[in-house]
């Protein structure tokens, strides 16, 4: 470029476009992050108990929490002894709003965040 004013004007237009596009990406990304994590509300809880107790007499059951569309939100495995004491328990969460073809890997959160904290999960 031979004219500095044309160069500076072009640079200013490029900066404005970059700001607008960057703000739009931040807004879209922030909205998707909130929708993917904060928008899930548990609407149903189903308990499935294994019919025969283990050799030690303990009973195993799974507590499955689902959201309004029927998608599984979390699965809890709970084992209780013959006296009704919980001797093993962990809650796994299933991520929502996955991209097409993406595998749903479960994850665990700190005990103070969940309804069913970990018990004896070595």
Name the average pLDDT for the chain: 80
Same domain, 78 and 101: yes
Report yes or no on 122 lying in a domain.
no
- Structural domain total, the chain: 2
103: pLDDT strictly greater than 60: yes
What letter does residue 113 receive in the DSSP assignment?
G
Comparing CA positions, the residue from 60, 21, 66 lying closest to residue 41 is: 66
Domain of residue 56, residue span: 42-113
What letter does residue 94 receive in the DSSP assignment?
-
Same domain, 102 and 68: yes
Q: In which region does residue 55 sit, left (phi positive, over 0), alpha (psi from -120 to 50) or beta (all else)?
A: alpha
Same domain, 11 and 26: yes
Taking residues 14-26, report their average pLDDT.
75
pLDDT per residue as tens digits for the range 70-81 = 888 899 999 999
Same domain, 74 and 109: yes
Same domain, 59 and 106: yes
The percent of residues above 70 in pLDDT, for the chain, comes to 85
Same domain, 73 and 31: no
pLDDT per residue as tens digits for the range 22-53 = 777 776 765 555 555 555 677 888 999 988 88
Same domain, 13 and 46: no
62 phi, psi to nearest 5 deg: -120, 130
Q: Tell me whether residue 79 is exposed, middle or buried, using C-beta atoms within 10 angstroms of its C-beta: 0 to 12, 13 to 18, 19 or more.
A: buried
Same domain, 64 and 82: yes
58: pLDDT strictly greater than 90: yes
């Amino acid at each position: 470029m031979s004219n500095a004013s044309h160069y500076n004007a072009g640079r200013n237009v490029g900066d404005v476009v970059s700001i607008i596009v960057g703000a739009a990406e931040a807004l879209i990304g922030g909205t998707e992050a909130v929708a993917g994590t904060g928008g899930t509300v548990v609407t149903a809880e189903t308990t499935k108990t294994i019919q025969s107790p283990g050799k030690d007499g303990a009973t195993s059951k799974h507590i499955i929490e689902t959201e309004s569309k029927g998608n599984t939100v979390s699965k809890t495995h709970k084992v209780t002894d013959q006296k009704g004491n919980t001797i093993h328990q962990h809650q796994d969460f299933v991520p929502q709003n996955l991209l097409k073809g993406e595998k749903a890997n479960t994850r665990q959160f700190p005990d103070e965040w969940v309804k069913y904290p970990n018990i004896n999960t070595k």
